[in-house]
Structure 1
Amino acid sequence: MELRHLRYFVTVVEEQSITKAAEKLCIAQPPLSRQIQKLEEELGVILFERGSRPIKMTEAGHFFYEHAVQILTHTAQATSMAQRINAVDKTVRIGYVSSLLYALLPQIIYLFRQRNPDMHVELIEYATCDQIEALKAGKIDLGFGRLRLMDSSIKGILLRKERLLLAIHKHHPFAEFIESGIYLSQILDESIFSYPKTPKPNFATAVHSIFTELGLVPKKMKEVREIHMALGLVSSGEGICLIPETARDIGMKNLSYIPILDFEAYSPISLSVRNMDQSSYIPKILDCIQDVFKNESIDFHTEVI
């Protein structure tokens, strides 16, 4: 059995017609029919109901179709990943979520560039959930994100649990908690801005999950486009919002920040790589992360997630 036979079969299924499939595959109809018949003979099963219009699969055909699609998808991903790994000696494409630009990511990338002048580094913004598919498709080689996502072909490395802060207007009544800190149970009646307004899961999802984990239900949660809008509204006295502690460096006026005392109130920062990728750039980027963390007096430990 060859991959082209699987492609022929899948195309016939998706087009529901031998004629249309032949046109799409740019081959004549009779040879395509013979290839499908040959595939059935090799498998020893009937894949299509005879005489049905449009074409319908048998029960065995449905089963074989699901696995044929997986085989073709995995083959395409493996090909793309192999090509990227082969080319990565010259270019490393790094996916990132925008909020990490306020954290230590710029220092890490700068150090990596200084130590590896022969490598071209390209930064590409991707939401954490999109980084998984981008890695599998070979569009990026590394992904820095803020969510724990599971995929058998991707390895996630937890780098840090960044504490969350509560951003308030400097004259908000909660200002009395700036030194002592505050629990999330104390803010449930407030207007809380979450962000970003992008496909889930995202940072807003993570914030909701923290409340849920603590058995808390905020009464007025409002989702806005991105962090600058959320902080701008807080600066206008419209409400409050939760941010990673490094985002306080955005430096918007009239804001104060309160430590959140709940242990669960953190944002995981992770590095995602292809599971079978043994490229030399991975230990090199980890060395840069370790050195930057050490300079900032941040504990460095890698935990596979």
Structure 2
Amino acid sequence: MELRHLRYFVTVVEEQSITKAAEKLCIAQPPLSRQIQNLEQELGILLFERGSRPVRTTEAGQFFYQHAVQILTHTAQAASMAKRISAVNKIVRIGYVSSLLYALLPQIIYLFRQRHSDIQVELIECGTKDQIEALKQGKIDLGFGRLRISDPAIKRIVLREEKLKLAVHKNHRLAEYIEQGLYLSQITHETIFSYPATQKPNFSTLIQSIFTELGLVPKDMVEVREIHMALGLVSSGEGICLIPESASDIGMKNLVYIPILDVEAYSPISLSVRNMDQSSYVPNILACVREVFEQENIHLKMNE
């Protein structure tokens, strides 16, 4: 059995027609029909119901289809990853979520560039969820993100659990808690802006999950496009917003930032890499992370 046989079979299933599948594969219909018959003989099962229009798979055929798709997908991913790994001496593509530009990521990337001037670094803004697929497809080599996402093909290294802060207008009634901090239970009746308005899961999902974990239900949670819009609305006195501690350096006018006292109120910062990736850039970037964290006197968690 060859990969092309699986590709022929999958195309017939998806097109629900031998004729359309042959056109898509750019081969004649009779040879395609023979290839499908040969595959059935090799497997010793019927893959398609005889005489059905459109073409329908048997129960065994549907089972085989699902696994054939996985095999073709994994093969394509492996080929793409191998090409990326072979080219890593020239360029390393790093995916990142935009909020990390306010944290230590710029310092880490700058140090990496200084230490490894022979490697070209390309930064690609990419949500944490999208980073997983981008890593598997070889579109990026490293991913810095914030969400708790698991995938058997990806190794996720938690670098830090960054505390959240509450952004409020300086004249808001909650501003009196700027020194002592407050609990999330104290803000559930406020208008809370969350972000971004992108495919989920995202940072907004993380915030909602923290409330849920604490058994809290915010009465008015409004999702906006991105962090600057959320903070702009807060600066206008429209509501409040939870942000990672490092984002308080954005410096928008009329805002104060209040510590959140709940231990559950944090945003994990993680580095994601391909599970089987043994390339030198992985320990090299981790060495830069370690050095920058030490310089800033920040505890490095480094849990996988």
TM-score by length of 2: 0.99
1:44-83 correspondence runs (5 A)? 44-83=44-83
- Structure 1 residue aligned with 2:231: 231
- Structure 1 residue aligned with 2:161: 161
Q: Which letter maps to 1:111?
A: L
State the Cα distance separating 1:160 from its structure 2 match: 0.2
Alpha-carbon distance in structure 2 between the residues aligned to 1:96 and 1:152 = 20
Alpha-carbon distance in structure 2 between the residues aligned to 1:303 and 1:95 = 20
Count of residues paired in the alignment: 304
- Structure 1 residue aligned with 2:213: 213
Give the root-mean-square deviation of aligned CA atoms: 0.6
Q: Deviations over 1:247-302 (max 9, x none)?
A: 01100000001100000000000000000000000000000000000000001131
Q: Which letter maps to 2:182?
A: I
Alpha-carbon distance in structure 1 between the residues aligned to 2:177 and 2:301 = 31
- Structure 2 residue aligned with 1:274: 274
Alpha-carbon distance in structure 1 between the residues aligned to 2:29 and 2:220 = 61
- Structure 2 residue aligned with 1:283: 283
Alpha-carbon distance in structure 2 between the residues aligned to 1:81 and 1:24 = 26
State the Cα distance separating 1:59 from its structure 2 match: 1.0
State the Cα distance separating 1:118 from its structure 2 match: 0.3
Q: Which letter maps to 2:239?
A: G
- Structure 2 residue aligned with 1:113: 113
Q: Which letter maps to 1:66?
A: Q
Q: Which letter maps to 2:68?
A: A
The residue matched to 2:122 in structure 1 has which SS? strand
Alpha-carbon distance in structure 1 between the residues aligned to 2:81 and 2:148 = 22
- Structure 1 residue aligned with 2:252: 252
- Structure 2 residue aligned with 1:202: 202
The residue matched to 1:151 in structure 2 has which SS? coil
Alpha-carbon distance in structure 2 between the residues aligned to 1:21 and 1:73 = 19
The residue matched to 2:299 in structure 1 has which SS? coil
The residue matched to 2:38 in structure 1 has which SS? helix
- Structure 2 residue aligned with 1:149: 149
Alpha-carbon distance in structure 2 between the residues aligned to 1:162 and 1:146 = 9
Provide the identity percentage.
Answer: 78
- Structure 2 residue aligned with 1:11: 11
Q: Deviations over 1:103-161 (max 9, x none)?
A: 00000000000000000000000011100000011100000000010111001000000
- Structure 2 residue aligned with 1:133: 133
State the Cα distance separating 1:89 from its structure 2 match: 1.1
Alpha-carbon distance in structure 2 between the residues aligned to 1:268 and 1:301 = 10
The residue matched to 2:189 in structure 1 has which SS? coil
Q: Deviations over 1:191-243 (max 9, x none)?
A: 11111111110000000001000001111111111100110111111111100
1:20-31 correspondence runs (5 A)? 20-31=20-31
Alpha-carbon distance in structure 2 between the residues aligned to 1:238 and 1:26 = 59
State the Cα distance separating 1:70 from its structure 2 match: 0.5
The residue matched to 1:56 in structure 2 has which SS? coil
State the Cα distance separating 1:56 from its structure 2 match: 1.1
Bigger mean CA deviation after superposition, 44-53 or 282-291 = 44-53
Alpha-carbon distance in structure 2 between the residues aligned to 1:59 and 1:25 = 25
- Structure 1 residue aligned with 2:86: 86
- 2:179 is aligned with 1:179: yes
Alpha-carbon distance in structure 1 between the residues aligned to 2:113 and 2:263 = 36
The residue matched to 1:196 in structure 2 has which SS? coil
Alpha-carbon distance in structure 1 between the residues aligned to 2:177 and 2:17 = 68
Alpha-carbon distance in structure 2 between the residues aligned to 1:150 and 1:188 = 29
The residue matched to 2:247 in structure 1 has which SS? helix
Alpha-carbon distance in structure 2 between the residues aligned to 1:165 and 1:301 = 20
The residue matched to 2:39 in structure 1 has which SS? helix
Alpha-carbon distance in structure 1 between the residues aligned to 2:59 and 2:233 = 57
The residue matched to 1:303 in structure 2 has which SS? coil
TM-score by length of 1: 0.99
Structure 1: stretches of 5+ with no match in the other structure: none
Q: Deviations over 1:14-51 (max 9, x none)?
A: 11111111111111111111111110010000111111
Q: Which letter maps to 1:80?
A: S
Q: After TM superposition, what 4+ stretches of structure 1 lie above 4 angstroms from structure 2?
A: none
